[in-house]
Amino acid sequence: MCVECGCGLPGRTRIDGKPADQVPSPLVEDGGSHEHDHAHPHRHDHEHPHSHSHDHDLAGPHAHDHSRGHGAASGSREIAVHESVFAANDRMAERNRGFFKALGLLTLNVVSSPGSGKTALLQKTIERLRPATRVGVIVGDLETDNDARRLRTTGAPVVQISTGTLCHLDAEMIARAVGQLDAKALDVLIIENVGNLVCPAEFDLGEDLRVALLSVTEGEDKPLKYPPMFRHAHVVVITKTDLAPHVEFDREAALANIRRVSPDARIFEVSAKTGEGMADWCSYLASCREPGARA
Amino acid sequence: MHEVGIMQSVLEIALSQARSSGAVCIREIRMRVGRMTGVVPEALDHAFLVLRGETLAAEARLVVEFVPGAFWCMTCAAEFESDDLIGGCPTCKEPSFDMRRGRELDVVSLEVD
């Protein structure tokens, strides 16, 4: 269930039509959704000899029993937990990130409100990148595989996650979905998140770049109304710029609002329909794949 | 609406920890919740009462420490507290994007039998 809006019942998510917990993944050990029932026998304050990054504040559940001298079965004792509600997702996301990094895969998490043009932008982006760049797609929606079918017309492999009632993708869904792609044969993995400007902001999927879309028809103040989503974005793409004159889009106000919420984000302005701005956006993605481009 | 999902995750964490340490009953669950999460205290309490049901936490108290939002102002080289994500430093009025506290949603500890 989503900790943001409380939506969703567990066990309803499907990947290409199959129940998600029955989809094998190189990143998830067991068949089903696993509970972290065990207490880790070691503390997590030791130096790890390997170099992948993970946040130790969010490290695994490790119980410390402070019963000290209390009777074996009587009297209360305190158990230190120090676990974030997001810890399970964050652990899985770091595992995904390590997996993607090991394969040299550039991974994008594309987020926006419904109808702001994610699928159209991705379709045109993939057409421009292929075949020189090998692109795979994971697309999330509550129902239907319409977006997957649109994206498959590009020739790229596409996995559809149908979340049922869930309003966002989480790291375990990505871990399972990526098992359905030949990840070794890809250069770029694009994750099209569920159209929603609230909940996906809180769920790290293990991506390199979070890309938030703002269509000109949505209004210039969207970044101020939904700051967490834009604040966490590395890139903001203003879409449907061909419609800007028709909706009296105030470009300067939109840019100022984006910079106010997310001063470091790269901003692109594109029209998937006319192709305006697409070359810049695609060459930026190519530059992100160059060695040393990403920390 | 948010709080039900949060509380479900909190109870999963608490029950799993309690079981693995052989507890028969959870007396108290202590949480730390940042003000910037938008969590409503009353809604969190209500979700807790509904969800603790017939679990090890059926009789438990929920104790929540709220953490105010805190940002680092680069200009003033000082921390300031604010619960406004796009509000600025009270001294120099510059916006800050370096949030230091306020997004916590942690289970801190349990008291168990």
Could you state, in order of their start, the residue ranges of all structural domains in chain B? 2-67+101-112
Q: How far is A70 from chain B (nearest CA, A)?
A: 10
**pTM of structure:** 0.79
Please answer yes or no on whether A4 and B2 come within 8 Å at the CB atom: yes
pLDDT band at residue A163 under the 50/70/90 scheme: confident
Res. B23: pLDDT tops 90: yes
* Residue A95 near residue B19 (C-beta atoms within 8 A): no
Please answer yes or no on whether A82 and B95 come within 8 Å at the CB atom: no
Apex CA A197: angle with CA A196 and CA A200, to 5°?
75
Q: ipTM of the predicted structure? A: 0.86
Look at the block and give the residue holding tokens 């230091």: B100
List residues in chain A touching B: CB distance below 8 A: 1-8, 35-39, 61, 63, 65, 74-88, 224, 227-228, 231, 260-264
Beta bridge mates, B106: A84, B32
The whole-number average pLDDT for the span A212-233 is 92
> Which residue is closest to B7 within chain A, CA to CA?
A3
pLDDT at residue B58, rounded to an integer: 95
Instruction: Encode pLDDT of B57-99 as tens digits.
Output: 999 999 999 999 999 998 999 999 998 877 789 999 888 878 8
- Chain A residues in contact with B9 by the CB 8 A cut-off are 1, 3, 85, 88
Please answer yes or no on whether B2 and A79 come within 8 Å at the CB atom: no
Instruction: Encode pLDDT of A239-292 as tens digits.
Output: 999 999 999 999 999 999 999 889 899 999 999 999 999 999 999 999 998 877
Please answer yes or no on whether B12 and A61 come within 8 Å at the CB atom: no
Instruction: Encode pLDDT of A197-206 as tens digits.
Output: 888 888 899 9
Sheet holding B61-67, edge to edge: A64-65, A77-84, B105-112, B26-34, B61-67
> Which residue is closest to A8 within chain B, CA to CA?
B5
Q: How far is A4 from chain B (nearest CA, A)?
A: 5
Minimal Cβ distance to A260: which of B21, B23, B95: B95
Res. A295: pLDDT tops 60: no
> Which residue is closest to B106 within chain A, CA to CA?
A84
Q: Domain map of chain A by residue range? A: 90-288
Please answer yes or no on whether A6 and B2 come within 8 Å at the CB atom: yes
Q: Does domain A90-288 have CATH number 3.40.50.300?
A: yes
Q: Which of A124, A134, A151, A133 is nearest to A277 (CA)?
A: A124
Choose the weakest-confidence range: A6-20, A224-238, A281-295, B50-64: A6-20
The dihedral through the CA atoms of A132, A138, A141, A145 has a sign that is: positive
Instruction: For residues A125 and A288, give the distance between their C-alpha atoms in angstroms, rounded to a whole number.
Output: 14
Q: Which of B8, B39, B40 to mutate to test the interface with A (most CBs of A within 10 A)?
A: B8
The whole-number average pLDDT for the span A152-161 is 94
Instruction: Encode pLDDT of A98-126 as tens digits.
Output: 999 999 999 999 999 999 999 999 999 99
pLDDT at residue A2, rounded to an integer: 63
pLDDT at residue A37, rounded to an integer: 42
CB contacts < 8 A, A to B, total 106
Minimal Cβ distance to A63: which of B12, B20, B105: B20
Please answer yes or no on whether B1 and A6 come within 8 Å at the CB atom: yes
- Chain A residues in contact with B5 by the CB 8 A cut-off are 1-8
DSSP letter at B47? H
pLDDT at residue B33, rounded to an integer: 94
Instruction: Encode pLDDT of A25-80 as tens digits.
Output: 888 876 444 444 444 444 444 444 444 443 444 334 444 444 444 444 457 899 99
Instruction: Encode pLDDT of B25-64 as tens digits.
Output: 999 999 999 998 888 899 999 999 999 998 999 999 999 9
Res. A83: pLDDT tops 70: yes
Instruction: Encode pLDDT of A133-151 as tens digits.
Output: 999 999 998 888 888 999 9
DSSP assignment of chain A: --TTT----TT--EETTEEGGGS-BTTB-SSSPPP--SPPSS-S-SPPSS-----GGGPPP--EE--TT--SSSS-EEEEEEEETTHHHHHHHHHHHHHHHHTT-EEEEEE--TTSSHHHHHHHHHHHHTTTS-EEEEEEESS-SHHHHHHHTTT--EEEEE-TT-SS--HHHHHHHHTTS-GGG-SEEEEE--S-SSGGGG---S-SEEEEEEEGGG-TTHHHHSHHHHHT-SEEEEE-GGGTTTTT--HHHHHHHHHHH-TT-EEEE--TTT-TTHHHHHHHHHHHTSTTS--
Count of C-beta atoms within a 10 Å radius of residue A282: 19
- Chain A residues in contact with B6 by the CB 8 A cut-off are 3, 85
Sequence-separated (6 or more) residues with CB below 8 Å from residue B34? B66, B67, B69, B101, B102, B103, B104, B105
Instruction: For residues A212 and A199, give the distance between their C-alpha atoms in angstroms, rounded to a whole number.
Output: 13
Q: How far is B38 from chain A (nearest CA, A)?
A: 9
Res. B108: pLDDT tops 80: yes
Task: Indicate the average pLDDT of chain B.
Answer: 91
Domain B2-67+101-112 is of which CATH architecture? 2-Layer Sandwich (3.30)
